[in-house]
A and B are shown apart, each in its own frame.
Chain A
Amino acid sequence: MTTRTGRRSVQGGIGESTIRPDGVPKLRGEFMYAQDMHVEGMLWGATTRSPHPHARIVSIDVGPALAIGGVHAVLTHDDIPGPGLFGLEHPDQPVLAGDVVRYWGEPVAIVAAEDEDTARRAAEAVVVEYEELEPLVDAEEADARDEVFRRMKIRRGDQEARGSVVVEGYYEVGMQDQAPLGTEAGLAVPDGNGGVDLYATSQFVHVDQQQVVEALGLRPEQVRAHPVGIGGAFGAREDVNLHIHLCLLALYTGRPVKMVYHRGESFTGHVHRHPARMWYRHEADENGRLVRVEAKILVDGGAYASTTAAVLANACYFAVGPYKCDSVAVDGVGARTNNPPCGAMRGFGAVQVCFAYESQMDRLASALGMDPLELRRRNALATGDRLATTGQVIDTPLPVVEVIDSLAAMPLLVDEPGSGGDLPGGSGLTTEPRHVRRGVGYALSIKNLGFSEGFDDYAQARVRLSPEGAIVETAAIEVGQGLVNVLAQIARTTLGVSRAEVRHVDTSRIDSAGSTSASRQTQLSGGATHEAARRLRQRILEHYRADDLDDEGVWRGDTLVAAWDDLVRDGWEETVTFRHPPTEPPDENGQGKMHADFAVAGHRAVVDVDPELGLVRVLRVDTAQDVGKALNPESIRGQIEGGILQGVGLAVMEELVLDRGRIRNATFTDYLLPTILDAPDVEAILIEQEGSWGPFGAKGVGEPPTISSTPAVVAAIRDATGKELNRVPVRPQDIALEEEVAR
């Protein structure tokens, strides 16, 4: 009999900044990314893409490609043994274009060959005869022609309400790319019985699996999608791209097939952040209280549906921001054009409108002669209030005032403008230090957590016991955010054991965890892990009529009644499917309980501007963020620092430039990503409040850092320059030259 020496507290539980368990293989270069997979006998795949944004396919001749030695297959639309369509929300996108191509870079044929070079040469050798058609590239024209994926109408409150102070504005957001550092890659392995195993970059393996099954007319049990290592995601991996192609080639050739997109192909091969045009009118009383907000929001969805309907809805639901207002009218349009398809990117619709409504709030503050933070404080939404747009009563913590107060109290840690080495033009002689102007700007944001509008949003997780400790099994994708940390922490704290780790399993071995997006996995997969661990512990304790479980086993008082190894042998496990509180679709006025939870954040940016050359250096972006409960403070900080830099990117540098539907800058040389020299210092305050339904009250934290950082930076540039700046990214000419983006 073992006698107990006293209960140890669990190491590595929630609230600790535990070090990520996948760190060591990643640091040693041993971590297996999708790009690194290799199996004996595998072929390489490549894609033939349309050089036109809109054209009729007259003929395709695969002969010259097939004639190349080492080529095993060249497949077109006609070779697809099923409906050949896919799409995250609506299956409207051809796996391979049939008679028409609708965007530049649309896949037309796929090839499998002995090696990568041969595959790419063969893809180029496919002869496609096109008859070019006029591309529809203007979202307003698409709206006028009723080429739309969705229209939204929100009407709330007295539509005749009028305020005494009115500001109007027009705003634009450019097309941002997620640009994860690892491009799309994958491997499909035929199982010899007509089925296939897919290992490809993804944020949501179950929905990949489902789309492969449906597009190729397979049975669900014939396709297994496996989580693999990926180099970032940020929304770009929610949609299918090479997945169905790989499975098709593998099934056709009977050989494993691997494909890796080059960077240029990655830019055309995945969806982007929707560019937006927004018309706003804010009316307030003389005390600054919002009386009415009107907005028209137009997002360009590009050629296929992807998630445009949901992105547009989000943009409309959060069109007023984290503010109270009882008279609202919002009209939204998700246009269908021949531009590159747009879909999910961190912030998902909330980003675009945040730039507009926060610009409006600053304009209103200036019209009222009021401090911008004071104006926001007077209108701040709180728990128990109704969301201005949908009328939903907010029943989880919403610390808007706390965010504002925290930001206001943070010291401005900066030296004199023009001092120090890092000037807007770099450290050379570009910028004249005397002319540098300093600006400070603020912005706040709100976003939903988890999926909305009645979507059955759930995640499954399994907790079982093994000789190495507790194992959390899940299909939830680790994109870098640290899910492998936080699920293990939740399991440790809940079970009361110090050894726990996360193992990824494929779609045949566990039900869906849902997408790693919408800031949802900590709450959803975390919720499932928490509940599975709680039930498992309870069942074990009841079974042994015991009162504690720890690394050694089960205890009744000071007596060990079953050792850990005994528990492992008995195969204890618990599987839980966790759902968040139900939501509902909107009524005809866009009213209802569409969201399960919300998170708010605020940012304060400090910039130095060279007004002559139009150059900006973002010195600091400080933030206060609503996190519910900080399960791993350092991981949250990682999300905050990385998310802010993506927001800075949208504010001053990142944009895919289109020329009649063609992307002009699909390389890292021309699509500028922030480097370390562009990265501001960041101070972060994490605001914890109890009451959210996430595990231990945790909220999702991934998206808020990216949302209001962009308008905060632009507000700071306006403060420095006095310019209106109604478009992001702000370009040097927007600062240095007189013209505004006219509307």
Chain B
Amino acid sequence: MKISLTINGREVSADVEPRTLLVHFLREDQGLTGTHIGCETSYCGACTVLVDGKTVKSCTMFAVQADGASITTVEGLADNGQLHPVQEGFWERHGLQCGYCTPGMIMSAVGLLQEKQSPSEDEIRHAIEGNLCRCTGYHNIVRAIEYAAAKMRGEEPPPPDWEEEEVSV
């Protein structure tokens, strides 16, 4: 089937099999391997992208369903090489280890911050409850999103936790 859509601001037309999942279309056909696969069963969130501004787990959607849509993947976030504030937050606040969950986490956070400028910690937690991370324990991911929210509001981000780190000798 022929589909046309916008991916990261670029017009794309393609011929896809009806059974092709959006995540496979992005990774295999478009070479956008920043969108990861962790479970194929809509549980882990590693495949999260924005479809018309809404977060979607791209393993739960067929490519043909994205016909006419505008899709943003993690590769489309940085602006002329300048990291998106959410990406910057994950970097500055040590929000990743292996990084496998990170693109999905980032896209969920971007989705949240598009809707809420000043989410509470609770709202942040609920926004990423569908994204699994096996490495970090999530703590720094919350800090990363708080950092991004402040940045996007034009405020100074809160200082990192480790500036108060307790080291006893």
Using a CB–CB distance below 8 Å, which chain A residues touch chain B? 17, 19-20, 22-24, 26-33, 35-36, 38, 179-183, 230-234, 262-263, 402, 406, 421, 479-482, 624, 630, 633-635, 637-638, 640-646, 667-669, 673, 675-677, 679, 681-682, 684-689
Contact = CB atoms under 8 A, between A and B. Distances in A.
B94 A231 contact: no
Nearest to B38: A181
Contacts of A643: 137
5 contacts: A27-B90, A36-B33, A232-B100, A421-B122, A481-B97
Interface in B89-141: 90-92, 94, 96-103, 106, 122, 125-126, 128-141
A38 B32 CA distance: 12
A644 B27 CA distance: 33
Shortest Cβ-Cβ A-B pairs, 5 listed? A29-B34, A231-B100, A480-B98, A641-B137, A26-B99
Interface of B: 27, 31-41, 43-44, 46, 73-75, 77-78, 83, 87, 90-92, 94, 96-103, 106, 122, 125-126, 128-142, 160-162, 165-169
Of B27, B36, B136, B139, most buried by chain A (CB within 10 Å of CB) is: B139
A183 B122 CA distance: 30
Contacts of A234: 134
Contact of B41 (A36, A263, A637): A263
Given A33-B33, A181-B36, A642-B137, 6 more contacts: A29-B35, A480-B99, A638-B140, A644-B137, A685-B166, A686-B165
Contact of A642 (B106, B136, B165): B136
Nearest to B127: A676
Contact of A686 (B34, B133, B167): B167
Contact of A669 (B43, B96, B138): B43
Contacts of A481: 97
Question: Taking chain B's interface residues, is the majority helix, strand, or loop, or is none over half, making it mixed?
Answer: loop
Contact of A676 (B32, B92, B138): B138
Contacts of A645: 137-138
B92 A19 contact: yes
A696 B107 CA distance: 40
A668 B137 contact: no
B162 A231 contact: no
B87 to A, nearest CB: 4
Contacts of A19: 91-92, 94
A620 B33 CA distance: 36
A33 B168 contact: no
Contacts of B87: 27-28
B37 A35 contact: yes
A481 B134 CA distance: 12
Nearest to B43: A668
A673 B132 contact: yes
Given A181-B134, A641-B137, A685-B168, A27 B129 contact: no
A231 B77 CA distance: 21
Contacts of B169: 687-689
Contacts of B106: 27
Contacts of A637: 94, 161-162, 165
Given A633-B167, A668-B38, A676-B128, A31 B75 contact: no
B134 A263 contact: no
Contacts of B129: 675-677
Contact of A23 (B90, B122, B134): B90
Given A27-B106, A637-B162, A668 B94 contact: no
A24 B92 CA distance: 10
B13 to A, nearest CB: 22
Nearest to B165: A633
A641 B140 contact: yes
A482 B97 contact: yes
Contacts of B125: 676-677
Contacts of A402: 168
Contacts of B141: 676
A638 B39 contact: no
Contacts of B31: 38
A27 B104 CA distance: 10
A33 B100 contact: yes
A679 B138 contact: yes
B97 to A, nearest CB: 3
Contact of B97 (A183, A624, A642, A676): A642
A641 B136 CA distance: 6
Contacts of A29: 32-35, 73-75, 103
Contacts of A633: 162, 165, 167
Given A29-B32, A182-B38, A634 B122 contact: no
A676 B126 CA distance: 8
Contacts of B138: 641, 645, 676, 679
Contact of B134 (A26, A232, A421): A232
A645 B138 CA distance: 9
Contacts of A263: 38-41
B94 A635 contact: yes
A324 B33 CA distance: 53
Contact of A26 (B37, B75, B102): B102
B98 A17 contact: no
A24 B168 contact: no
A195 to B, nearest CB: 27
A17 B162 contact: yes
Of A31, A180, A624, A644, most buried by chain B (CB within 10 Å of CB) is: A31
Contacts of B34: 28-30
B36 A33 contact: yes
Contacts of B102: 26-27
Given A641-B139, A668-B44, A26 B96 contact: yes
Contacts of A30: 34, 75
Contacts of B41: 263, 667-669
Given A24-B83, A35-B36, A479-B98, A638 B135 contact: yes
Contacts of B139: 641, 679, 681-682
B38 to A, nearest CB: 5
Contacts of B78: 28
B166 A181 contact: no
A669 B57 CA distance: 15
A480 B83 contact: no
A182 B100 contact: yes
A682 B166 CA distance: 13
B32 to A, nearest CB: 7
Contacts of A17: 94, 160, 162, 165
Contact of B132 (A181, A230, A479, A685): A181
B141 to A, nearest CB: 7
Given A181-B101, A677-B125, A689-B169, A23 B135 contact: no
A668 B135 CA distance: 16
A267 to B, nearest CB: 11
A642 B92 contact: no
A673 B169 CA distance: 35
A182 B36 contact: yes
A288 B139 CA distance: 38
Nearest to B94: A634
A573 to B, nearest CB: 30
Contacts of A686: 165-168
B169 to A, nearest CB: 5
B160 to A, nearest CB: 8
Contact of B75 (A22, A28, A679, A685): A28
Of A28, A29, A33, A180, most buried by chain B (CB within 10 Å of CB) is: A29
Contacts of A644: 137
Of A35, A421, A479, A481, most buried by chain B (CB within 10 Å of CB) is: A35
B151 to A, nearest CB: 14
Contacts of A33: 33, 36, 100
A179 B134 contact: yes
Contacts of A682: 137, 139
A480 B97 CA distance: 4
Contacts of A668: 38-39, 41, 43-44, 132
A266 to B, nearest CB: 9
A254 B136 CA distance: 41
